[in-house]
Structure 1
């Protein structure tokens, strides 16, 4: 009886929408788990995380990029639906929220991270309208490694200026491209508190709100500090900061433990995460076991340091 009800509801929603309801009922009717659907997509060379599938299913985001539309077409076959049954529910791309609006000299946050559908889903779930409304006056990252070469913490200090009234928060994204270790935890340090957080362990993205200690008017600034703490199995041989918009000053410091000094360190920049390195130059470890780079008037893209242990 229950299966017949699901079948009738699915037939109805395939005529009327919305996409999320159609996908949800189609998954229910199929009896497949999200991990099974993800695996079948992967067999066709289509990589979509379980988190993204769950967000599509619950209506927290929807597929819009070309790669995601290919995934929807594949889902129709996996879920034994007629061709275009789900695709027809999507219609034209919906207007973006203010945090995704383009302005001259800017990029979408997800675009910097190689057009990540996963990151876009997380940002939409947090839905903090600050992209291109806060000008990044300066940023300072302190990346600390321990004696076992593992990651310890990342402390960020930022000064931002509001370009509109009633701005009370910012948002940041962290991506780990390492296979080992979980995502870090986020902790406020000064002049802010942590709001909504969302993560995708499969794609290894973390997104969090930073709520200021006061509401900003146009031209007013906030100086905030927050810290990410890593678990015992977190390792990396690089760190880079993504800039979706022009930024005034950036200081990146990497602090090594005296018991685990790298053989060489290099500064680099990229237009996007998957783009080739540019401006590569070697930097030297100082007598206090740290390296740093300083940049001014940074264009959208990434700036980072990488190191070699041997």
Structure 2
């Protein structure tokens, strides 16, 4: 349990950290309530709940998702802090070695997904600590955004390569949109696979599912699968991203919008790099990354 008896001096906290102390001190110094802070963020197109802000300033959670890191950058501006002064207190991911038989440069889930602890439990319930026998030679994804701003369907096409022996399944991981009900999220097998066991964690908003092959792969052998994620939660979303544990050959992502609900701007991001994307006449934007380093790659958009 974290027990806080007060807020330290903002200047000292920014210099020494930790992140939670610095954020709490800056909020106190500005005299802002969490409700007011949330409204300031919303005015900048950043959606963060007051419960999340409370957890950040009390040290119960820390921002790690790309959308959360963008929120921290906005908080620096709102609180009148030097650019990057809060972000730097979060520090880089802790270096970890890759396991035997894994591609060089592999990263652990803790460096990619903030709900990695829940994910580890879900994977363990399937009898595996992680999806360590396959990596992605190529992945193409199509995301549809409907007139309500939600994403009811996403399709994924993957070229998978085995780097260990006796591989007969792929473990798909679905990180639901904020506010989505994971019980209303399902997986559909479309080509060269069938759905096996499914596990969900409602609090973490995670789903993991086995996609079973009709053959067993040997090292360096490839397999093509296609599957869809169907989300009936109907929550507005403004971001889609993928986390890659292993280096991948290629990643192409297209987001297509209903013409009745078009964003004002779309941006590609990879790590800390962001670039505005042009929209086609078919109301779509895309990215193509090759090769793909381990980490986060995605597209975000602003509704207003």
Scaled to the shorter chain, the TM-score interval is 0.5 to 0.7
Quickly say closer, same or farther: Cα 1:111–1:100, change in 2 above 3 A.
farther
How big is the shift at 1:110?
4.0
SS of 1:139's equivalent in the other structure is: strand
TM-score with structure 2 setting the length: 0.64
- 1:100 and 1:229 map into 2 onto residues whose CA distance is 35
Q: Give 1:296's aligned residue.
A: 290
Matched, 1:126 2:126: yes
Consecutive unaligned residues of structure 2, counting only runs of 5 or more, are 1-54, 62-97
- 1:119-143 Cα shifts (integer Å, max 9, x gaps): 1111111234773421310001111
Q: Give 1:167's aligned residue.
A: 167
The CA RMSD measured in Å over matched residues stands at: 2.4
Quickly say closer, same or farther: Cα 1:203–1:100, change in 2 above 3 A.
farther
- 1:126 and 1:201 map into 2 onto residues whose CA distance is 17
SS of 2:250's equivalent in the other structure is: strand
SS of 1:151's equivalent in the other structure is: coil
Quickly say closer, same or farther: Cα 1:227–1:209, change in 2 above 3 A.
same
Matched, 1:305 2:303: no
Q: Which moved more, 1:113-122 or 1:149-158?
A: 113-122
- 1:27-74 Cα shifts (integer Å, max 9, x gaps): xxxxxxxxxxxxxxx9x9757xxxxxxxxxxxxxxxxxxxxxxxxxxx
Q: Which moved more, 1:171-180 or 1:256-265?
A: 171-180
Q: Give 1:255's aligned residue.
A: 256
TM-score with structure 1 setting the length: 0.63
- 1:172-218 Cα shifts (integer Å, max 9, x gaps): 21112512444511110000011111111111111111111211122
Consecutive unaligned residues of structure 1, counting only runs of 5 or more, are 1-41, 48-97, 271-277
Q: Give 1:197's aligned residue.
A: 198
Matched, 1:112 2:112: yes
Q: Which moved more, 1:110-119 or 1:162-171?
A: 110-119
- Write out aligned runs for 1:149-188 (5 A): 149-182=149-182, 183-188=184-189
